[in-house]
Amino acid sequence: EAGVAQSPRYKIIEKRQSVAFWCNPISGHATLYWYQQILGQGPKLLIQFQNNGVVDDSQLPKDRFSAERLKGVDSTLKIQPAKLEDSAVYLCASSTGAGHYEQYFGPGTRLTVT
């Protein structure tokens, strides 16, 4: 089966600019996650969707980050305005549903904010 797709793979922006990331989960996967992985750290969950509804966004900096999952399939994560500390790899993952199922990760988008 095709894996989780993400784009772009790399992005360099200046602080205060905006950026958007796109994720296409594995077909049929109801649950979608966005993680932020800062260099040398473990992934940190930003937001979790179940179909097109938000399950958990407690760690999402809502003053600058937003995410949506239209029609319960693809998802976009936006940062506006970006800060230097947002430099990280943004990983999208999906799983079959709500429960302790394996999460399949995409290749990630490496964001550098200068």
Partner 1 sequence: GENVEQHPSTLSVQEGDSAVIKCTYSDSASNYFPWYKQELGKRPQLIIDIRSNVGEKKDQRIAVTLNKTAKHFSLHITETQPEDSAVYFCAASMDSSYKLIFGSGTRLLVRP
Binding site for partner 1 (CB under 8 A): 31, 33, 40-45, 48, 55-56, 91, 98-100, 102-103, 105-108
Nearer to partner 1, 91 or 113 (CB): 91
The number of angstroms, rounded, from the C-alpha of 80 to the middle of its chain's C-alpha atoms is: 14
Cβ 51 to partner 1 shortest distance, Å: 14
Nearer to partner 1, 53 or 99 (CB): 99
Q: Using CA atoms, how far apart are residues 76 and 69, in angstroms rounded to an integer? A: 7
By the 8 A CB rule, do 90 and 41 touch? no
Nearer to partner 1, 36 or 86 (CB): 36
Cβ 3 to partner 1 shortest distance, Å: 8
Q: How far is CA 71 from CA 26, 80, 90, in A?
A: 14, 23, 22
State both tokens at 56. 């958990």
Nearer to partner 1, 85 or 101 (CB): 101
Cβ 20 to partner 1 shortest distance, Å: 20
Cβ 6 to partner 1 shortest distance, Å: 9
Q: How far is CA 60 from CA 36, 54, 77, in A?
A: 10, 11, 11
